[in-house]
Amino acid sequence: MDGPSGTGPGEDALAAVYAWVVAERRPADGDLPRMAADLGHSEAECRRAVAILEERHVLIRDGGTVAAASPDVAIAALVGPRESAHRQAESELLAERDRTDRLRARLAALAPVYSTLVREGGSPGVDVIEDMHAVRALISDLTATCESEIMACQPGGGRPPRALADALPRDLALLRRGIVLRSLYQHTARFHVPTQDYAEAVLAEGSQIRTVAEIPGQMIIVDQRTAFLPHVHHEFGAIVVREPSILAYLCAAFEQSWNLGTPFQTGPSAARMAVTEIKSSILTLMANGLKDDVIAKRMGLSVRACRGHIAELMETFGARSRFQAGVIAAGLGLLDAKGVDGTPETGAEL
């Protein structure tokens, strides 16, 4: 008489008990042994079935007897309030959407006024937003209404897991409605497990992701009409660019980096390629005399991991200083090469 989970009577058994009670009209608790015998179940199973049917309001207890009630009565008692609550929630949601649409229309009506005054005042079409919540709200709004493409640069060794978790459903929704989503990461992001998981999910839906050794900074461009750049003095602020000439420059810079990028892949061969290009870039920066912490930041590495790569490179070239290793590599023509002797045969953890 157990249900699918093995924890109680199944629906067929409940229907059999209900039918027995209907046929018996108003059986008493003392009739439980006869119910069990007629139905071929234990008394405990029948008792449990009766209790469940009482909870569903199709059996009504009256002292020591139970009577069958119409399922329509039970529906009115149990399902009716839920359906009413659902209708109320839907009505409130529609009203809220209407209020939101009217507010959007009122604010949008001010856009021509703003644009005209900006042009007359000689503003470069750049807005400075210092409030984190305002930045997030504007990005969410523009991505939700995106018409064709979003281009993004994400520097560092991988985005925070919480940010990736928040971005995944939004980006999947964009891809499923035909938006082109192109993202540039640094090679070091290939070794970041949360970023790997995110990349695999969006790539399966048609996203395009490439990695390069260095990215100048974070950037989001929506429909080639609006760009978001980091605020230099406010960590969570942003510079919003709408001026066509600046946007054209930013889009061209993105395309240049994109053309130099390598499609995002995981696995040993991809890891070897990434480590090779990372070390080649580190060599170039070493030859330019940059300090370890500066190199680490530009490469999206921790300082400890960066110093580990530097130590391996110095050992490979038999150099006594970082600068000497860079000079030797330059003399061998390796600074622009895609391979550096001494690269490990399997992907090293960054």
DSSP bridge pairs for 228 = 220, 240
122, pLDDT greater than 60: no
Mean pLDDT of the chain: 81
- Indicate yes or no: pTM above 0.85: no
Residue keyed to tokens 């940059």: 290
**Residue 219 region by backbone torsions, left for phi larger than 0, else alpha for psi between -120 and 50, else beta:** beta
Do 228 and 219 touch, CB atoms closer than 8 A? yes
Structure tokens at 142: 């523009």
pLDDT of residue 350: 37
pLDDT at residue 102 is higher than 90: no
H helices of the chain, in order, are 11-24, 32-39, 43-55, 71-74, 80-108, 111-120, 132-144, 161-176, 193-203, 244-260, 268-287, 292-299, 303-317, 322-331
Is residue 335 scored above 70 in pLDDT? Answer: no
What gap in Å lies between CA 214 and CA 60, rounded to an integer? Answer: 73
Q: Name the band, by pLDDT with cuts 50, 70 and 90, for residue 228.
A: very high
pLDDT tens digits, residue range 236-291?
A: 788 899 889 999 999 999 999 999 888 987 666 666 777 777 877 887 787 777 88
- Tell me the pLDDT tens digit for each residue of 1-22: 444 444 567 888 899 999 999 8
Mean pLDDT of 38-46: 90
Average of pLDDT values for 324-336?
Answer: 67
Q: How far apart are CA 69 and CA 52, in angstroms?
A: 14
Per-residue model confidence as pLDDT tens digits over 310-321: 888 877 777 777
Query: Residue 113's pLDDT is what?
Result: 61
- Checking if the pLDDT of 50 tops 90, the result is yes
